[in-house]
Chain A
């Protein structure tokens, strides 16, 4: 990412600025609140549909880059000749507005996994290339489940990964434009912007420090858990303990914006036509590793809990994602039917054997 260029936007000019996004003729996806407290990212037609006062959505906006279900191709069987195969239409240009820094960090992980790491996933890449990301930094924790402050700079202000980032500092937004896609937005907003001052950056930094030191629960200590998992230095009892509280429902990974696993299957429409799709899958489900022989590689909750933690926290996987597999969004805490969201998992992982016994 090029060095961001920074401007000031008056808080009251945010709505007019967002209104201009619709002039670009692209699909705009933004947070909406169809019922009080329920926030969903959805395509919107105008600024009035957008919810500006929100924490974060339970379903991450990464769903627009890596949908829960996606057609890989459609087919039609033809007697006596090869089936006809039709790939999906290329995606259209769109703007994701109001993305929280944790989800921006998650998208950076997905970029690394699906694009940088060969072979390229062209379906993801095409969508990603046609998507402009406008981040909305958090001026306070989005929820009491947030723990991005423990996750190496994934929030509450994005360090990278965005095209445009808006940070509310007092009565104004600090607006950073980081890419060519962002520059396009800057030109749209030109007459609403003034150059940012050093003082504004300093004020945001002070605000960020204050938040991290005072407003977040700092007890996740992801770094220590990562060291233990990477060094394979976890009391085996910890996995049993986590497994005992796991209902194998998969909710943690379905809502995790960094999780990428999927299933591939055929969905017949009728006798001769159908689609091959991919669909979100979860390594927490019992059948995830089931082979045609019936053999299941990870048959217990504990073995799957260990795998999930290893895949997210081990240094072995850092390279494939450019980050650890957790951005501190806290969705797994909300989703878990038990009590084993990532911070609790980290805590149990860190607990030495002696302490657990007592």
Chain B
């Protein structure tokens, strides 16, 4: 990490974007330091007095003097609530980068399938941006994004751009919609986006982030398409306190999600999940 131990770097809130009623994206500019990171790595953000919590870095790794994180506010979450109260110009503390990230450089020459459910999209946004910035190194890049309702969708600008882009196949769905919703796209669970895809399974690496309930169904679809468990990469969530593999909260079997993860292949997860 850039800073030893528990001392956070200062960052200024430069921009706040309302994504949904419960999700905001914060652009944080570092005061003195930089934070070079890999896609899929995370950092902790402190609102001093409220505490500290881990968040995936959602911005492109091309920029290290500022990062973006998207935060869903949970009623019981003291840190997420405090973050949502911040205004542009306020300061937060940042520690990181933490964790392993997605080994995107190992995926060169392959088809990439990104599957994001709900608030999982921020965790893969850095990877999507990286893939697009290094587009020639990869074959087909496909994004499947599912949200609960049209109102729960984040990164509407990005998604609109990706839908138009010849460089990425972007398929979206919502689980359900109301009469009032202005949504003429696909309706159905994220798994329904797999069926029409023409994929070269053995040549494909999948990046999958979403709520845990989604995983078994997505794994089944990926296997159906011929993607091996070793080529399915997940970013796991766990309760984390220290972010440096010591406090014990995120331990799963013999792995620390914060240190050995948060990215694991499904082959690894099969060994870990029971604990």
Interface on A for B, CB 8 Å cutoff?
Answer: 72-73, 75, 77, 80-83, 85, 87, 113-114, 117, 119, 121-123, 260-266, 268, 274, 276, 278, 281, 283, 288-295, 297, 306-307, 310-311, 314, 316-317
Given contacts A77-B48, A292-B53, contact A281 B248 (CB under 8 A): yes
Residues A72 and B51 in contact in the complex (CB < 8 Å), given A264-B241, A288-B249: no
Known: A73-B7, A262-B242, A294-B76. A276 touches B48 (CB 8 A): yes
A316 contacts across to B, CB distance below 8 A = 253-254
Which of A117, A121, A290 gathers most chain B CB within 10 Å? Answer: A121
Q: Nearest 5 pairs between A and B by C-beta? A: A261-B248, A316-B254, A292-B77, A82-B10, A72-B6
Q: B237, A73: Cβ atoms under 8 Å?
A: no
10 A-B residue pairs with Cβ-Cβ distance under 8 Å, sorted by A, are A72-B6, A75-B49, A83-B93, A85-B93, A265-B51, A278-B241, A278-B242, A281-B249, A290-B239, A292-B77
User: Once bound together, how far apart are the Cα atoms of A82 and B248, in whole Å?
Assistant: 30
Q: Assess the A119–B1 pair: CB atoms within 8 A.
A: yes
Q: A85-B8, A316-B253, A316-B254 are in contact. Are A262 and B91 (CB under 8 A)?
A: no
When distances are taken between beta carbons in the complex, the residues of chain B under 8 Å from A274 are 48-49
- Please state if B241 and A297 are interface contacts (CB–CB under 8 Å): no
List the B residue with the shortest CB-CB distance to A287. B239
Contact with A along B1-21 (1 / 0, CB 8 A): 100111110101000000000
- Which of B49, B79, B241, B242 is in CB contact (< 8 Å) with A268? B49
Given contacts A261-B249, A264-B242, A292-B77, 11 further A-B contacts (CB under 8 A): A82-B31, A83-B91, A262-B242, A263-B241, A264-B51, A266-B51, A274-B49, A281-B241, A288-B249, A311-B248, A317-B254
Query: From residue B48, how far is it (CB to closest CB) to chain A in Å?
Result: 5
Q: Are B244 and A119 in contact (CB under 8 A)?
A: yes
The interface residues of chain A lying within 8 Å CB-to-CB of B51 are: 264-266, 276
Q: CB < 8 Å: which of A72, A266, A295 contacts B49? A: A266
Contact of B48 (CB < 8 Å), options: A75, A289, A290: A75
Contacting residues, chain B, for A306 (C-beta < 8 A): 275
**Residues of chain A with a CB closer than 8 A to B10's CB:** 82-83
Given A261-B249, A266-B50, A278-B247 in contact, is the A85-B254 Cβ separation under 8 Å?
no
| Residues in B whose Cβ lies below 8 Å from that of A113 | 246
A265 to B241, CA, bound (A): 8
- B254 nearest CB neighbor, chain A only: A316
Known A73-B6, A85-B7, A121-B5; contact A291-B237, beta-carbon cutoff 8 A: yes
Q: Are B49 and A77 in contact (CB under 8 A)?
A: yes
Interface residues of B, dominant DSSP:
loop
Q: With an 8 A cutoff between CB atoms, is B217 at the interface?
A: no
Of B49, B79, B212, most buried by chain A (CB within 10 Å of CB) is B49
Residue B35 CB within 8 A of the other chain? no
CA distance A356 to B129 in the complex (A): 57
Contact with A along B83-104 (1 / 0, CB 8 A): 0000001010100000000000
A342 to chain B, nearest CB (A): 18
Is B5 a contact of A314 with CB atoms below 8 Å? no
Contacting pair B5 A72 (CB below 8 A): yes
Count, A-B residue pairs, CB within 8 A: 110
- A interface majority secondary structure: mixed
Distance, CA A80 to CA B275, complexed state (A): 46
Bound complex: CA A113 to CA B251 (Å): 14
Chain A residues within an 8 Å CB radius of B1: 119
B residues in contact with A288, CB < 8 Å: 239, 249
For the complex, give the distance between the alpha carbons of A266 and B49 in Å: 5
Cα–Cα distance between A307 and B252 once the two chains are bound (Å): 9
Taking the closest CB of chain A, its distance from the CB of B223, in whole angstroms, is 25
* Residues A122 and B5 in contact, CB atoms below 8 Å apart: yes
Is there a chain A Cβ closer than 8 Å to B70's Cβ? no
Chain A residues, Cβ within 8 Å of B241 = 262-264, 278, 281
Q: Mark B223-248, 1 if CB is under 8 A from A, else 0.
A: 00000000000000111011011111
Decide: A281 and B247 in contact? CB cutoff 8 A: yes
Neighbouring A residues of B23 by C-beta, 8 Å: none
A297 touches B6 (CB 8 A): no
Q: Is B111 an interface residue (CB 8 A)?
A: no
In the bound assembly, the distance between CA atoms of A82 and B8 in angstroms comes to 11
Give Cα distance in the complex from A113 to B212, angstroms: 30
Interface centre among B5, B48, B253 (most CB of A within 10 A): B48
Q: Could you tell me the distance in whole angstroms from the C-beta of A317 to the nearest C-beta in chain B?
A: 6
Question: How far does the alpha carbon of A72 sit from the alpha carbon of B93 in the complex, in Å?
Answer: 14
- Specify which chain B residues have a CB less than 8 angstroms from the CB of A114 in the assembled complex: 246
By the criterion CB–CB under 8 Å, are B74 and A293 in contact?
Answer: yes
Interface residues of B in 46-90 (CB under 8 A from A): 46, 48-53, 74, 76-77, 79-80, 89
Separation of A311 and B239 alpha carbons in the complex (Å): 17
Find chain A residues with CB under 8 A from B275 CB: 306-307, 310
Contact B238 A291 (CB under 8 A): yes
Q: Is the CB of A121 within 8 A of B246?
A: yes
Chain B residues, CB < 8 A from A295: 212
How far apart are the CA atoms of A310 and B8 in the complex, in Å?
33
**A292 in contact with B246 given A83-B48, A297-B239 (CB within 8 Å):** no
Among A75, A263, A317, the residue within 8 A (CB) of B247 is A263
Residues on B with beta carbons closer than 8 Å to the beta carbon of A292: 53, 74, 76-77, 79-80
For residue A287, give the distance in angstroms from its CB to the closest CB of chain B.
9
From B5, B77, B89, B254, A123 is in contact (CB under 8 Å) with: B5
A289 to B242, CA, bound (A): 13
Q: Are A289 and B238 in contact (CB under 8 A)?
A: yes
| CB closest residue in chain B, given A265 | B51
Distance in angstroms from A213 CB to nearest chain B CB is 35
